[in-house]
Structure 1
Amino acid sequence: MSGILKSDELTETRIISLRLAVGALGERDNAGWWQSGFMSTTSSAFLMPVFGSNSSQARYEGVVEAARRVHDERIGVGHAFHPFRLPENMEQRLFDLVQTKGRDLVDETFSADQARATLERLAEKPVTARSGPALVGAAAMLDEQSWIAAVASLYLAAFSTGVQCFPYFTGTR
């Protein structure tokens, strides 16, 4: 992505990168947390004829929805947020950014190695991840950028050790 981004857009881009990395690593060809294959190298073959120039956006939306469903099953829906179910205003900003810059944000050849490197870049420090839901903090944390690094650290540890860890935030925002 080129140019200078507004600080909100930079945060949103980091969230999208987090979602794509976790989404790719969680798919059936990698850790198998969910059974989708939107980030696989062959996905373009079935997305391009249907979505054409919007296939990058379709990849993103597909993998986010697959991850959202599994996170919702493990964490629950209600007064909890997670990286794939954020407050509505954040979700709308992410959606708008993917609508306008989809091709720039979603790499057509996003490999597992690239996904791990993305998580390493986003992570703040090594942590231990346990299997299951992992409380990160209150939903108010979502107003700060630091949650992205904390969550990336948990996912990186989970994928490295082979456990399924689902970071979440409690409360309303």
Structure 2
Amino acid sequence: MTATRRGRPPAGPERRNALVQAAYRCLAEGGFERLRMRDVAAGVGIDHSSIHHHFPTKQDLVVAVVDYTTRQFWSTTPPDGGPVERLRHHLATLRQKIVDEPELHIVLRELDLRARRDPELLEIIAGREEGWRSSLRTLLTGAAAAGALAPGVDPATGAELVIATVKGASLASSRAGDVIELLDQLLIRA
């Protein structure tokens, strides 16, 4: 990122990205209680009134953080290989992200909790998660067709189980590996 002589990012996409990063850090460190537009602006070194040029409302900033956090998962499923290998790789990558990037999951859980009280945010998050849900259903359907899915596991229900398990495991990162490994064993025939 190129900085101006005052040490703050230049106006435009770089500054917008820096504001999203600052909001992300606020959420990771103190949850929604510490997410204040003034603090986000100060974290980037700009006057608090300038943040509104990039994000007219706090909700707009929150949506940008949702987009940033969900983008971190776009490449967790490899494009090549069979459905079982791809699913196992996806689960292993998620397990590693929980361990290596706990702040990412703290922010995601904060957003999930906030969405329970904010219908607009709930709809936005559901829309972003639909891609994940669809990808999981496709992988599980492929595993079922290959005879590798555990008996009685419906791909749509299995996708919901994966999502719920990953979200829960991220709350107890010290046990995430064990929990996701168990999920692998429950879904896929050895």
Q: With structure 1 as the length reference, what TM-score do the two structures score? A: 0.29
> Going by fraction, where is helix more abundant, 1 or 2?
2
Taking CA–CA contacts closer than 8 Å with sequence separation of 6 or more, which of the two structures ends up with the larger relative contact order? 1
Q: Which has a greater percent of strand? A: 1
TM-score by length of 2: 0.27
Over alpha carbons, which structure has the higher Rg? 2
